[in-house]
Amino acid sequence: MARLKFEMWPYIDSKGNKDGYMTRFTDGNGYSTESWWSSPPASIDHVGPEYLKQRHRHPNVRNARHDAFFKRRYKEEIIKFKA
């Protein structure tokens, strides 16, 4: 079983301008999904698990463990970019 993995980086558009952020979540089976955030919130604690499962976010966030991991890592990464 692979380890859970979360990555976040600035998204650069075709003109070289920063245009939001990308996130990638890899689940325990090694399946990865990516999502673009135009204006990511500083916190996602208020977001329910169904939000991340939606097709346009990360449908491979399938259980409470994934949800907790994603939110913890998101908060760790967004601090780096919002500072």
pLDDT in tens, 13-63: 999 999 999 999 999 999 999 999 998 888 888 888 788 887 678 999 999
CA dist 28 to 11, 20, 62, Å?
Answer: 25, 27, 11
pTM of the model: 0.88
CA distance 21 to 63: 24
How many separate domains does the chain show?
Answer: 1
DSSP 16: S
Domain encompassing residue 17: 5-82
Q: What is the pLDDT of residues 52-69, one digit of tens each?
A: 887 678 999 999 999 999
- Tell me the three state secondary structure of residue 24: strand
